[in-house]
Amino acid sequence: MTGKKDFALVEYRQALSLGKFSNQAIEKQARYRMADIYLSMGQAEEAQKEFLLIVKMDPNDYRALFNIGKIFYERNMKDNALNYLMKSVKINSSFADAWFYIGKIHLEANRYGEAMNAFINCVKNDPKNYEAHYSLGMIYKAMNNTTKALQEFEIAERSPDNNLKIKTIYQIGIIASESGNYDKAINEFQRALKYANEENSTTIAVRYALAGVYENRKQILEAIEQWEKIAQYRPNYMDVQEKLARYSDLRMDDKLKDFVTCSTSTFEIISQKILSAMEYDVIDSKIINDNLVHMVALERSGKWGAVRQGKVFVVVTRSGDPVDDDVLSFIVDKVKTLHGVKGICITTSKFTPKAIRYAENRPVVLIDRNELTKILKKI
Asked if residue 27 has pLDDT above 90, the reply is: no
**Amino acid 129: pLDDT:** 97
Asked if residue 353 has pLDDT above 60, the reply is: yes
Q: What is the pTM of this model?
A: 0.69
Write out pLDDT tens, residues 291-336: 999 999 998 765 444 455 789 999 999 987 899 999 999 999 999 9
Write out pLDDT tens, residues 184-193: 999 999 999 9
Q: What average pLDDT does the structure give for the chain?
A: 89
Collapsed DSSP state (helix, strand, coil) of residue 69: helix
CA distance linking residue 58 with residue 272, whole number of Å: 84
Burial of 286 (0-12, 13-18, 19+ CB in 10 A): exposed
In order of start, what are the domains of the chain with their CATH numbers? Answer: 2-251 (1.25.40.10), 258-376 (3.40.1350.10)
CA distance linking residue 292 with residue 287, whole number of Å: 6
Write out pLDDT tens, residues 92-147: 999 999 999 999 999 999 999 999 999 999 999 999 999 999 999 999 999 999 99
Cβ atoms of 239 and 215 within 8 Å: the answer is no
Burial of 267 (0-12, 13-18, 19+ CB in 10 A): buried
CA distances from 149 to 115, 144, 160, 184, 289 (A): 15, 8, 20, 16, 32
Instruction: Give the distance from CA 145 to its chain's centroid.
Output: 19
Write out pLDDT tens, residues 67-91: 999 999 999 999 999 999 999 999 9
**Amino acid 286: pLDDT:** 96
Instruction: Give the distance from CA 351 to its chain's centroid.
Output: 29
